[in-house]
Structure 1
Amino acid sequence: MTMTLVEGGPATLEAREVSAWFGDHLVLDRVSLTMPAGRVTALIGPSGCGKSTFLRTLNRMHELVGGAKLAGEVLLDERDVYAPDRRVTDARRHIGMVFQKPNPFPAMSVYDNVLAGLRLTGTRVSRRAKDALVEECLSKAGLWREVSGRLRQPGGALSGGQQQRLCIARALAVRPRVLLMDEPCSALDPTSTRRIEETIAELAAEVTVVIVTHNMQQAARVSHQCAFFLAEQGRPGVIVEHGGTEEMFSRPRDPRTLDYVNGRFG
Protein backbone atom coordinates (compact mmCIF):
# COMPACT_ATOMS: atom_id res chain seq x y z
CA MET A 1 0.00 0.00 0.00
CA THR A 2 1.34 3.47 -0.90
CA MET A 3 1.61 5.82 2.04
CA THR A 4 0.52 9.42 1.68
CA LEU A 5 3.45 11.69 2.39
CA VAL A 6 1.63 14.74 3.59
CA GLU A 7 -0.71 14.78 6.54
CA GLY A 8 -3.64 16.96 5.52
CA GLY A 9 -2.08 18.00 2.21
CA PRO A 10 -0.20 21.17 1.30
CA ALA A 11 -1.01 24.26 3.33
CA THR A 12 -1.22 27.95 2.55
CA LEU A 13 1.39 29.94 4.44
CA GLU A 14 0.88 33.66 4.98
CA ALA A 15 3.26 36.21 6.44
CA ARG A 16 1.59 39.35 7.76
CA GLU A 17 3.62 42.46 8.51
CA VAL A 18 6.69 40.45 9.50
CA SER A 19 9.61 42.51 10.83
CA ALA A 20 12.85 40.93 12.05
CA TRP A 21 15.79 42.20 14.07
CA PHE A 22 19.23 40.97 15.02
CA GLY A 23 19.81 42.87 18.23
CA ASP A 24 18.90 46.48 17.42
CA HIS A 25 19.44 46.02 13.68
CA LEU A 26 16.20 45.86 11.69
CA VAL A 27 16.73 43.49 8.75
CA LEU A 28 13.13 43.03 7.53
CA ASP A 29 10.46 45.70 7.60
CA ARG A 30 6.77 44.72 7.58
CA VAL A 31 6.95 42.00 4.94
CA SER A 32 3.66 40.43 3.89
CA LEU A 33 3.37 37.52 1.47
CA THR A 34 0.93 34.71 0.79
CA MET A 35 2.49 31.41 -0.30
CA PRO A 36 -0.36 29.37 -1.83
CA ALA A 37 -0.91 25.71 -1.04
CA GLY A 38 0.60 23.28 -3.50
CA ARG A 39 2.63 25.92 -5.32
CA VAL A 40 6.32 26.85 -5.48
CA THR A 41 7.18 30.36 -4.33
CA ALA A 42 10.67 31.66 -5.13
CA LEU A 43 12.25 34.39 -3.02
CA ILE A 44 14.70 36.35 -5.15
CA GLY A 45 16.90 39.40 -4.64
CA PRO A 46 20.55 40.36 -4.11
CA SER A 47 22.61 39.15 -1.16
CA GLY A 48 21.84 40.86 2.14
CA CYS A 49 18.25 41.78 1.38
CA GLY A 50 16.71 39.48 4.00
CA LYS A 51 15.48 36.53 1.90
CA SER A 52 17.01 33.81 4.09
CA THR A 53 16.05 35.67 7.27
CA PHE A 54 12.45 35.82 6.04
CA LEU A 55 12.54 32.11 5.19
CA ARG A 56 13.75 31.30 8.71
CA THR A 57 10.94 33.31 10.31
CA LEU A 58 8.43 31.01 8.62
CA ASN A 59 9.20 28.03 10.85
CA ARG A 60 10.66 29.87 13.85
CA MET A 61 14.30 29.16 13.00
CA HIS A 62 14.98 32.90 13.35
CA GLU A 63 14.50 32.76 17.10
CA LEU A 64 17.43 30.33 17.46
CA VAL A 65 19.83 33.26 16.90
CA GLY A 66 20.81 35.09 20.09
CA GLY A 67 19.25 38.56 20.26
CA ALA A 68 16.89 37.89 17.37
CA LYS A 69 13.42 39.43 17.57
CA LEU A 70 10.31 39.31 15.41
CA ALA A 71 7.04 41.16 15.01
CA GLY A 72 4.03 40.20 12.92
CA GLU A 73 2.30 36.91 12.21
CA VAL A 74 3.02 33.76 10.23
CA LEU A 75 -0.19 31.88 9.54
CA LEU A 76 -0.34 28.21 8.61
CA ASP A 77 -3.90 27.67 7.39
CA GLU A 78 -4.97 30.79 9.33
CA ARG A 79 -3.27 29.76 12.63
CA ASP A 80 -0.29 31.79 13.83
CA VAL A 81 2.76 29.55 14.31
CA TYR A 82 4.01 32.08 16.91
CA ALA A 83 0.84 31.88 19.02
CA PRO A 84 1.58 31.18 22.73
CA ASP A 85 -0.23 27.84 22.57
CA ARG A 86 1.77 26.59 19.54
CA ARG A 87 4.84 24.51 20.31
CA VAL A 88 7.93 25.28 18.25
CA THR A 89 8.39 21.56 17.51
CA ASP A 90 4.87 21.50 16.06
CA ALA A 91 5.67 24.44 13.77
CA ARG A 92 8.85 22.79 12.50
CA ARG A 93 7.16 19.45 11.93
CA HIS A 94 4.55 21.01 9.68
CA ILE A 95 7.00 23.46 8.09
CA GLY A 96 10.17 21.55 7.21
CA MET A 97 13.46 23.00 6.02
CA VAL A 98 16.30 22.04 3.68
CA PHE A 99 19.45 24.10 4.12
CA GLN A 100 21.98 25.48 1.66
CA LYS A 101 24.66 22.97 2.67
CA PRO A 102 23.61 19.32 2.84
CA ASN A 103 23.59 18.25 6.47
CA PRO A 104 22.84 14.53 6.78
CA PHE A 105 24.07 12.83 9.94
CA PRO A 106 27.35 11.55 8.44
CA ALA A 107 27.84 8.43 10.57
CA MET A 108 24.18 7.46 10.49
CA SER A 109 23.01 5.11 7.74
CA VAL A 110 20.97 6.33 4.79
CA TYR A 111 17.99 4.42 6.22
CA ASP A 112 18.33 5.96 9.69
CA ASN A 113 18.89 9.44 8.26
CA VAL A 114 15.48 9.33 6.60
CA LEU A 115 13.84 8.29 9.88
CA ALA A 116 15.77 10.70 12.12
CA GLY A 117 12.92 13.21 12.27
CA LEU A 118 10.49 10.57 13.50
CA ARG A 119 12.74 9.88 16.45
CA LEU A 120 13.04 13.57 17.25
CA THR A 121 9.26 13.97 17.26
CA GLY A 122 8.69 10.77 19.23
CA THR A 123 6.71 9.14 16.41
CA ARG A 124 6.51 5.35 16.73
CA VAL A 125 5.80 3.19 13.70
CA SER A 126 6.22 -0.48 12.84
CA ARG A 127 9.25 -1.83 11.00
CA ARG A 128 7.14 -2.48 7.93
CA ALA A 129 5.85 1.09 8.01
CA LYS A 130 9.41 2.38 8.41
CA ASP A 131 10.58 0.39 5.39
CA ALA A 132 7.69 1.73 3.31
CA LEU A 133 8.29 5.30 4.48
CA VAL A 134 12.01 5.16 3.68
CA GLU A 135 11.33 3.85 0.18
CA GLU A 136 8.63 6.40 -0.53
CA CYS A 137 10.54 9.40 0.78
CA LEU A 138 13.71 8.43 -1.07
CA SER A 139 11.61 7.91 -4.20
CA LYS A 140 10.00 11.31 -3.80
CA ALA A 141 13.47 12.83 -3.41
CA GLY A 142 14.61 11.11 -6.61
CA LEU A 143 17.16 8.99 -4.76
CA TRP A 144 15.70 5.51 -4.31
CA ARG A 145 17.14 3.94 -7.47
CA GLU A 146 20.62 5.19 -6.61
CA VAL A 147 20.75 4.07 -2.96
CA SER A 148 18.26 1.20 -2.58
CA GLY A 149 21.18 -1.23 -2.31
CA ARG A 150 23.13 1.01 0.08
CA LEU A 151 20.58 1.79 2.78
CA ARG A 152 22.86 0.60 5.60
CA GLN A 153 25.85 2.62 4.41
CA PRO A 154 26.62 5.99 6.05
CA GLY A 155 24.80 9.02 4.68
CA GLY A 156 28.09 10.88 4.69
CA ALA A 157 29.42 8.50 2.00
CA LEU A 158 27.00 9.84 -0.61
CA SER A 159 27.91 12.54 -3.12
CA GLY A 160 26.95 16.15 -2.40
CA GLY A 161 23.89 16.05 -4.63
CA GLN A 162 22.79 12.74 -3.15
CA GLN A 163 23.26 14.10 0.36
CA GLN A 164 21.00 17.05 -0.45
CA ARG A 165 18.30 14.74 -1.78
CA LEU A 166 18.72 12.60 1.36
CA CYS A 167 18.04 15.73 3.40
CA ILE A 168 14.89 16.32 1.35
CA ALA A 169 13.79 12.73 2.03
CA ARG A 170 14.48 13.23 5.75
CA ALA A 171 12.38 16.40 5.77
CA LEU A 172 9.51 14.64 3.99
CA ALA A 173 9.43 11.72 6.43
CA VAL A 174 7.73 13.76 9.16
CA ARG A 175 4.94 14.66 6.71
CA PRO A 176 5.35 18.43 6.47
CA ARG A 177 2.74 20.57 4.80
CA VAL A 178 5.29 23.20 3.76
CA LEU A 179 8.93 22.70 2.73
CA LEU A 180 11.35 25.62 2.97
CA MET A 181 14.52 25.44 0.86
CA ASP A 182 17.42 27.87 1.38
CA GLU A 183 19.49 27.87 -1.83
CA PRO A 184 19.44 24.06 -1.96
CA CYS A 185 21.46 23.86 -5.20
CA SER A 186 24.10 26.54 -4.63
CA ALA A 187 26.86 24.03 -3.84
CA LEU A 188 25.85 21.42 -6.42
CA ASP A 189 26.95 20.57 -9.95
CA PRO A 190 24.54 21.08 -12.90
CA THR A 191 23.43 17.44 -12.99
CA SER A 192 22.59 17.38 -9.28
CA THR A 193 20.88 20.76 -9.62
CA ARG A 194 18.66 19.42 -12.40
CA ARG A 195 17.65 16.45 -10.26
CA ILE A 196 16.79 18.68 -7.30
CA GLU A 197 14.70 20.89 -9.60
CA GLU A 198 12.87 17.83 -10.92
CA THR A 199 12.19 16.78 -7.34
CA ILE A 200 10.76 20.22 -6.50
CA ALA A 201 8.45 20.06 -9.52
CA GLU A 202 7.19 16.62 -8.50
CA LEU A 203 6.68 17.60 -4.85
CA ALA A 204 4.71 20.76 -5.56
CA ALA A 205 1.38 18.94 -5.82
CA GLU A 206 1.86 17.41 -2.37
CA VAL A 207 3.66 20.04 -0.31
CA THR A 208 3.89 23.83 -0.51
CA VAL A 209 7.46 24.82 -1.43
CA VAL A 210 9.20 28.13 -0.63
CA ILE A 211 12.69 28.41 -2.09
CA VAL A 212 15.41 31.06 -1.81
CA THR A 213 17.54 31.20 -4.95
CA HIS A 214 20.06 33.54 -6.57
CA ASN A 215 19.73 31.64 -9.84
CA MET A 216 17.20 33.50 -11.98
CA GLN A 217 16.98 30.65 -14.49
CA GLN A 218 16.19 28.29 -11.64
CA ALA A 219 13.49 30.60 -10.29
CA ALA A 220 11.95 30.77 -13.75
CA ARG A 221 12.06 26.98 -14.15
CA VAL A 222 10.73 25.78 -10.80
CA SER A 223 8.44 28.45 -9.33
CA HIS A 224 4.84 29.46 -9.86
CA GLN A 225 5.26 32.84 -8.18
CA CYS A 226 8.18 35.06 -7.14
CA ALA A 227 8.75 37.69 -4.50
CA PHE A 228 11.54 40.21 -5.14
CA PHE A 229 13.33 41.38 -1.99
CA LEU A 230 15.54 44.46 -1.86
CA ALA A 231 17.42 46.40 0.84
CA GLU A 232 18.55 49.76 -0.51
CA GLN A 233 21.13 52.14 0.99
CA GLY A 234 21.35 50.46 4.39
CA ARG A 235 17.58 50.17 4.79
CA PRO A 236 15.92 46.94 5.97
CA GLY A 237 14.74 44.40 3.43
CA VAL A 238 11.30 44.75 1.90
CA ILE A 239 9.37 43.08 -0.91
CA VAL A 240 9.43 45.36 -3.95
CA GLU A 241 6.81 43.30 -5.72
CA HIS A 242 5.50 39.77 -6.06
CA GLY A 243 3.37 37.91 -8.55
CA GLY A 244 3.25 35.09 -11.07
CA THR A 245 6.71 34.04 -12.22
CA GLU A 246 6.09 34.60 -15.92
CA GLU A 247 4.78 38.09 -15.30
CA MET A 248 7.60 38.94 -12.90
CA PHE A 249 10.20 37.99 -15.50
CA SER A 250 8.54 39.50 -18.55
CA ARG A 251 6.25 42.30 -17.37
CA PRO A 252 7.23 43.41 -13.83
CA ARG A 253 5.62 46.56 -12.49
CA ASP A 254 8.77 47.99 -10.92
CA PRO A 255 11.83 48.82 -13.10
CA ARG A 256 14.13 47.58 -10.32
CA THR A 257 12.65 44.11 -10.71
CA LEU A 258 13.26 44.17 -14.45
CA ASP A 259 16.86 45.25 -13.89
CA TYR A 260 17.46 42.49 -11.35
CA VAL A 261 15.96 39.57 -13.28
CA ASN A 262 17.94 40.67 -16.33
CA GLY A 263 21.20 40.67 -14.38
CA ARG A 264 21.83 44.42 -14.39
CA PHE A 265 22.56 44.43 -10.63
CA GLY A 266 22.82 42.05 -7.69
Structure 2
Amino acid sequence: MPSPDLVGLDARHISAWFGEHKVLQDVSLHMRAGEVTALIGPSGCGKSTFLRILNRMHELIPSASLAGEVLLAGEDLYARDRRLTEARRQVGMVFQKPNPFPTMSIYDNVLAGLKLTGLKASRDTKDDLVEECLSKAGLWKEVRDRLRSPGGALSGGQQQRLCIARSLAIKPKVLLMDEPCSALDPTSTRRIEQTIRELVDEVTIVIVTHNMQQAARVSDRCAFFLAEAGTPGGIVEHGLTDAMFSRPQDQRTSDYVNGRFG
Protein backbone atom coordinates (compact mmCIF):
# COMPACT_ATOMS: atom_id res chain seq x y z
CA MET A 1 0.00 0.00 0.00
CA PRO A 2 1.26 3.52 -0.79
CA SER A 3 2.45 5.54 2.20
CA PRO A 4 -0.01 8.14 3.52
CA ASP A 5 2.94 10.57 3.75
CA LEU A 6 3.36 10.77 -0.02
CA VAL A 7 3.29 14.27 -1.48
CA GLY A 8 3.18 15.63 -5.01
CA LEU A 9 5.20 18.32 -6.73
CA ASP A 10 3.76 21.24 -8.68
CA ALA A 11 5.69 23.33 -11.20
CA ARG A 12 3.80 26.49 -12.10
CA HIS A 13 4.64 28.77 -15.03
CA ILE A 14 8.33 27.88 -15.07
CA SER A 15 10.51 29.80 -17.52
CA ALA A 16 14.30 29.43 -17.45
CA TRP A 17 17.32 31.16 -18.91
CA PHE A 18 21.07 30.67 -19.23
CA GLY A 19 22.26 34.24 -19.55
CA GLU A 20 20.14 35.78 -22.32
CA HIS A 21 19.22 32.39 -23.80
CA LYS A 22 15.73 31.25 -22.82
CA VAL A 23 15.48 27.47 -22.60
CA LEU A 24 12.02 26.92 -21.07
CA GLN A 25 8.80 28.84 -21.68
CA ASP A 26 5.90 28.83 -19.20
CA VAL A 27 6.01 25.14 -18.19
CA SER A 28 3.38 23.95 -15.70
CA LEU A 29 3.17 20.33 -14.59
CA HIS A 30 1.57 18.51 -11.65
CA MET A 31 3.63 15.48 -10.62
CA ARG A 32 1.25 13.37 -8.58
CA ALA A 33 2.04 11.85 -5.22
CA GLY A 34 2.97 8.17 -5.35
CA GLU A 35 3.39 8.05 -9.12
CA VAL A 36 6.25 7.94 -11.60
CA THR A 37 6.16 10.87 -14.01
CA ALA A 38 8.39 10.48 -17.08
CA LEU A 39 9.71 13.53 -18.91
CA ILE A 40 10.24 12.60 -22.56
CA GLY A 41 11.32 14.47 -25.67
CA PRO A 42 14.33 14.94 -27.97
CA SER A 43 17.69 16.28 -26.77
CA GLY A 44 17.83 20.01 -26.17
CA CYS A 45 14.18 20.54 -25.30
CA GLY A 46 14.76 21.44 -21.64
CA LYS A 47 13.85 18.20 -19.82
CA SER A 48 17.00 18.00 -17.71
CA THR A 49 16.94 21.73 -17.02
CA PHE A 50 13.35 21.39 -15.80
CA LEU A 51 14.34 18.41 -13.62
CA ARG A 52 17.19 20.38 -12.03
CA ILE A 53 14.87 23.29 -11.33
CA LEU A 54 12.72 20.94 -9.24
CA ASN A 55 15.40 20.72 -6.53
CA ARG A 56 17.15 24.05 -7.09
CA MET A 57 20.21 22.61 -8.85
CA HIS A 58 19.59 25.18 -11.59
CA GLU A 59 20.99 27.74 -9.14
CA LEU A 60 24.45 26.12 -9.30
CA ILE A 61 25.05 27.62 -12.75
CA PRO A 62 26.11 31.29 -12.37
CA SER A 63 24.31 32.50 -15.51
CA ALA A 64 21.08 30.64 -14.75
CA SER A 65 17.82 32.32 -13.79
CA LEU A 66 14.16 31.36 -13.69
CA ALA A 67 10.62 32.55 -13.15
CA GLY A 68 7.70 30.63 -11.67
CA GLU A 69 7.09 28.44 -8.65
CA VAL A 70 7.91 24.89 -7.54
CA LEU A 71 5.51 23.75 -4.82
CA LEU A 72 6.13 20.72 -2.61
CA ALA A 73 3.03 19.92 -0.58
CA GLY A 74 1.88 23.45 -1.36
CA GLU A 75 5.06 25.21 -0.16
CA ASP A 76 7.39 27.03 -2.57
CA LEU A 77 10.88 25.47 -2.67
CA TYR A 78 12.22 28.84 -3.86
CA ALA A 79 10.72 30.88 -1.01
CA ARG A 80 13.28 33.26 0.48
CA ASP A 81 13.06 31.68 3.92
CA ARG A 82 13.47 28.14 2.54
CA ARG A 83 16.94 26.74 3.21
CA LEU A 84 18.65 25.23 0.20
CA THR A 85 19.80 22.16 2.16
CA GLU A 86 16.21 21.49 3.25
CA ALA A 87 14.94 21.74 -0.34
CA ARG A 88 17.62 19.28 -1.51
CA ARG A 89 16.87 16.91 1.37
CA GLN A 90 13.20 16.75 0.45
CA VAL A 91 13.77 16.48 -3.29
CA GLY A 92 16.64 14.07 -3.99
CA MET A 93 18.49 13.48 -7.27
CA VAL A 94 20.00 10.46 -9.02
CA PHE A 95 22.21 11.45 -11.94
CA GLN A 96 22.79 9.98 -15.38
CA LYS A 97 26.28 8.77 -14.50
CA PRO A 98 26.67 6.90 -11.20
CA ASN A 99 28.58 9.14 -8.79
CA PRO A 100 29.38 7.26 -5.57
CA PHE A 101 32.31 8.60 -3.56
CA PRO A 102 34.86 6.14 -5.00
CA THR A 103 37.21 5.73 -2.02
CA MET A 104 34.44 5.84 0.58
CA SER A 105 33.05 2.49 1.69
CA ILE A 106 29.65 1.22 0.55
CA TYR A 107 28.41 1.73 4.11
CA ASP A 108 29.66 5.32 4.32
CA ASN A 109 28.36 6.13 0.83
CA VAL A 110 24.83 5.32 1.92
CA LEU A 111 25.17 7.59 4.95
CA ALA A 112 26.97 10.46 3.18
CA GLY A 113 23.82 12.55 2.88
CA LEU A 114 23.27 12.53 6.63
CA LYS A 115 26.51 14.45 7.17
CA LEU A 116 25.72 16.92 4.39
CA THR A 117 22.30 17.69 5.83
CA GLY A 118 23.40 17.67 9.48
CA LEU A 119 21.27 14.67 10.50
CA LYS A 120 22.60 12.73 13.49
CA ALA A 121 21.99 9.05 14.22
CA SER A 122 23.28 6.33 16.58
CA ARG A 123 25.43 3.46 15.30
CA ASP A 124 22.52 1.01 15.51
CA THR A 125 20.25 3.43 13.66
CA LYS A 126 22.90 3.85 10.96
CA ASP A 127 23.31 0.07 10.61
CA ASP A 128 19.55 -0.34 10.22
CA LEU A 129 19.35 2.55 7.77
CA VAL A 130 22.12 1.16 5.56
CA GLU A 131 20.41 -2.24 5.38
CA GLU A 132 17.00 -0.67 4.76
CA CYS A 133 18.18 1.63 1.96
CA LEU A 134 20.37 -0.95 0.24
CA SER A 135 17.44 -3.40 0.38
CA LYS A 136 15.08 -0.84 -1.17
CA ALA A 137 17.64 -0.19 -3.91
CA GLY A 138 17.88 -3.93 -4.62
CA LEU A 139 21.54 -4.12 -3.60
CA TRP A 140 21.67 -5.49 -0.04
CA LYS A 141 22.03 -9.19 -0.87
CA GLU A 142 24.91 -8.44 -3.27
CA VAL A 143 26.98 -6.28 -0.91
CA ARG A 144 26.01 -7.18 2.69
CA ASP A 145 29.28 -9.10 3.21
CA ARG A 146 31.49 -6.28 1.92
CA LEU A 147 30.00 -3.08 3.29
CA ARG A 148 33.49 -1.76 4.11
CA SER A 149 34.71 -2.16 0.51
CA PRO A 150 35.02 1.01 -1.61
CA GLY A 151 31.87 2.06 -3.45
CA GLY A 152 33.98 2.69 -6.54
CA ALA A 153 34.79 -1.04 -6.79
CA LEU A 154 31.19 -1.93 -7.65
CA SER A 155 29.96 -2.47 -11.21
CA GLY A 156 28.23 0.40 -13.00
CA GLY A 157 24.75 -0.93 -12.31
CA GLN A 158 25.59 -1.58 -8.66
CA GLN A 159 27.04 1.92 -8.33
CA GLN A 160 23.81 3.42 -9.64
CA ARG A 161 21.78 1.40 -7.14
CA LEU A 162 24.18 2.57 -4.41
CA CYS A 163 23.44 6.15 -5.44
CA ILE A 164 19.72 5.41 -5.18
CA ALA A 165 20.29 4.00 -1.67
CA ARG A 166 22.26 7.12 -0.74
CA SER A 167 19.41 9.32 -1.95
CA LEU A 168 16.85 7.31 0.05
CA ALA A 169 18.83 7.54 3.31
CA ILE A 170 17.81 11.16 3.90
CA LYS A 171 14.11 10.27 3.44
CA PRO A 172 13.22 12.50 0.48
CA LYS A 173 9.62 13.25 -0.42
CA VAL A 174 10.45 13.22 -4.13
CA LEU A 175 13.21 11.43 -6.05
CA LEU A 176 14.39 12.90 -9.36
CA MET A 177 16.23 10.64 -11.83
CA ASP A 178 18.08 12.02 -14.86
CA GLU A 179 18.39 9.15 -17.37
CA PRO A 180 19.50 6.77 -14.59
CA CYS A 181 19.93 3.78 -16.92
CA SER A 182 21.50 5.39 -20.01
CA ALA A 183 25.01 4.13 -19.21
CA LEU A 184 23.96 0.66 -18.03
CA ASP A 185 23.63 -2.80 -19.55
CA PRO A 186 20.17 -4.37 -20.07
CA THR A 187 20.34 -6.50 -16.90
CA SER A 188 21.23 -3.52 -14.69
CA THR A 189 18.58 -1.44 -16.43
CA ARG A 190 15.95 -4.06 -15.65
CA ARG A 191 16.98 -4.14 -11.97
CA ILE A 192 16.74 -0.36 -11.64
CA GLU A 193 13.38 -0.25 -13.42
CA GLN A 194 12.12 -2.87 -10.95
CA THR A 195 13.48 -0.74 -8.08
CA ILE A 196 11.65 2.33 -9.41
CA ARG A 197 8.33 0.51 -9.47
CA GLU A 198 8.87 -0.76 -5.91
CA LEU A 199 9.93 2.63 -4.54
CA VAL A 200 6.92 4.52 -5.84
CA ASP A 201 4.83 3.25 -2.92
CA GLU A 202 6.85 5.51 -0.63
CA VAL A 203 8.38 8.31 -2.71
CA THR A 204 7.11 10.34 -5.67
CA ILE A 205 9.44 9.85 -8.67
CA VAL A 206 10.18 12.05 -11.69
CA ILE A 207 12.41 10.52 -14.36
CA VAL A 208 13.96 11.89 -17.55
CA THR A 209 14.38 9.18 -20.19
CA HIS A 210 15.06 9.01 -23.92
CA ASN A 211 14.03 5.35 -23.95
CA MET A 212 10.37 5.17 -24.96
CA GLN A 213 10.08 1.52 -23.94
CA GLN A 214 11.40 2.44 -20.51
CA ALA A 215 8.93 5.31 -20.18
CA ALA A 216 6.12 2.91 -21.08
CA ARG A 217 7.33 0.31 -18.57
CA VAL A 218 8.01 2.43 -15.48
CA SER A 219 5.85 5.57 -15.61
CA ASP A 220 2.24 6.27 -14.69
CA ARG A 221 2.18 9.58 -16.54
CA CYS A 222 4.31 11.28 -19.19
CA ALA A 223 5.04 14.85 -20.18
CA PHE A 224 6.31 15.40 -23.74
CA PHE A 225 8.74 18.31 -24.06
CA LEU A 226 9.65 19.90 -27.38
CA ALA A 227 11.64 22.93 -28.59
CA GLU A 228 10.94 23.82 -32.21
CA ALA A 229 12.83 26.09 -34.63
CA GLY A 230 14.98 27.78 -32.01
CA THR A 231 12.11 28.47 -29.61
CA PRO A 232 12.37 27.67 -25.86
CA GLY A 233 11.27 24.23 -24.71
CA GLY A 234 7.77 23.59 -23.46
CA ILE A 235 5.27 20.80 -22.84
CA VAL A 236 3.29 19.77 -25.91
CA GLU A 237 1.14 17.25 -24.08
CA HIS A 238 0.98 15.38 -20.79
CA GLY A 239 -1.25 12.69 -19.35
CA LEU A 240 -1.52 9.00 -18.52
CA THR A 241 1.30 7.01 -20.10
CA ASP A 242 -1.01 4.49 -21.76
CA ALA A 243 -2.98 7.28 -23.41
CA MET A 244 0.13 9.18 -24.46
CA PHE A 245 1.46 6.13 -26.27
CA SER A 246 -1.77 4.67 -27.68
CA ARG A 247 -3.91 7.72 -28.43
CA PRO A 248 -1.94 10.97 -28.14
CA GLN A 249 -3.85 14.19 -28.74
CA ASP A 250 -1.09 15.95 -30.69
CA GLN A 251 0.45 14.64 -33.92
CA ARG A 252 3.92 15.69 -32.74
CA THR A 253 3.54 13.42 -29.70
CA SER A 254 2.51 10.53 -31.92
CA ASP A 255 5.48 11.11 -34.22
CA TYR A 256 7.92 11.19 -31.30
CA VAL A 257 6.71 8.16 -29.34
CA ASN A 258 6.59 6.16 -32.57
CA GLY A 259 10.19 7.03 -33.43
CA ARG A 260 9.57 9.32 -36.41
CA PHE A 261 11.96 11.93 -35.02
CA GLY A 262 14.18 12.60 -32.02
Shorter-normalised TM range: over 0.9
- Which of residues 218, 221, 244 is equivalent to 2:217? 221
Deviations 1:23-52 (A, max 9, x none): 000000010000000000000000000000
2:173 is aligned to 177
1:108 is aligned to 104
1:14-93 equivalent positions in 2, closer than 5 A: 14-93=10-89
User: Taking structure 2 as the reference length, what is the TM-score of the superposition?
Assistant: 0.98
Contact map agreement 1:41 1:225 (CA 8 A) in 2: yes
2:139 is aligned to 143
Q: Are residues 1:160 and 2:126 paired? A: no
SS at match of 2:42: coil
Aligned residues: 261
Q: Distance in 1 between matches of 2:19 and 2:146?
A: 46
User: Taking structure 1 as the reference length, what is the TM-score of the superposition?
Assistant: 0.97
1:234 is aligned to 230
- Amino acid paired to 2:188: S
TM-superposed CA distance for 1:150, in Å, is 0.9
- Amino acid paired to 1:188: L
2:191 is aligned to 195
Q: Distance in 2 between matches of 1:67 and 1:259?
A: 34
RMSD: 1.1
TM-superposed CA distance for 1:10, in Å, is 2.3
Q: Distance in 2 between matches of 1:38 and 1:254?
A: 27
SS at match of 1:34: strand
TM-superposed CA distance for 1:66, in Å, is 1.3
In structure 1, the gaps of 5 or more residues are 1-5
Deviations 1:72-127 (A, max 9, x none): 00000110000001011110000000000000000000000000000111111110
| Runs ≥4 residues deviating over 6 A | none
Contact map agreement 1:7 1:175 (CA 8 A) in 2: no
Deviations 1:102-155 (A, max 9, x none): 000000000000000001111111100000000000000000000001100000
SS at match of 1:19: strand
Contact map agreement 1:51 1:229 (CA 8 A) in 2: yes
1:124 is aligned to 120
Q: Distance in 1 between matches of 2:3 and 2:213?
A: 32
Q: Distance in 2 between matches of 1:262 and 1:107?
A: 43
Q: Distance in 2 between matches of 1:25 and 1:104?
A: 33
TM-superposed CA distance for 1:8, in Å, is 7.4
Question: Kindly, what percent of the aligned residue pairs are identical?
Answer: 75
Q: Distance in 1 between matches of 2:125 and 2:3?
A: 15
Contact map agreement 2:3 2:201 (CA 8 A) in 1: no
TM-superposed CA distance for 1:9, in Å, is 2.6
SS at match of 1:198: helix
